[in-house]
């Protein structure tokens, strides 16, 4: 019975690790950071046509910076409040 408990414990640890790895905050934060960098780079030097279309506002620059901030906030949230593993279930009684 001890081997079974050990195996179950190992599987729970692997499951908790996989759950932390695929935490939705990590995925959303990473995507916003990547897209924010791309849009910010595109907005650094806009063409005259782009500025005219946006009525003089550097919309790509501001949107990219906002996406960067949002992505970094998601990643900060992940760092400050990591996902907790489920509490250990009570061990079954041996017969």
Confidence category of residue 2, pLDDT binned at 50, 70, 90: confident
Q: What is the pLDDT of residues 59-94, one digit of tens each?
A: 999 999 999 999 999 999 998 887 776 554 455 555
What's the predicted TM-score (pTM) here? 0.67
| Token pair recorded at residue 6 | 């050990």
| Average pLDDT estimate for 52-64 | 93
**Cα distances (angstroms) measured from residue 28 to each of 1, 33, 83:** 42, 9, 15
The single residue listed with the structure tokens 């900060």 is 76
User: In sequence order, which ranges of 45-58 are alpha helices (DSSP H)?
Assistant: 48-53
Amino acid 3: pLDDT: 78
């Amino acid at each position: 019975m001890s081997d079974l408990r050990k195996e179950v414990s190992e599987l729970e640890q692997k499951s908790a690790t996989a759950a932390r790895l695929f935490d939705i905050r990590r995925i959303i934060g990473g995507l916003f950071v990547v897209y924010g960098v791309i849009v910010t780079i595109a907005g650094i030097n806009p063409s005259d046509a782009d500025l005219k279309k946006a009525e003089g506002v550097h919309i790509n620059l501001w949107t990219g910076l906002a996406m960067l901030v949002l992505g970094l906030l998601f990643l900060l949230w992940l760092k400050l409040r990591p996902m907790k593993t489920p509490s250990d279930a009570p061990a079954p009684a041996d017969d």
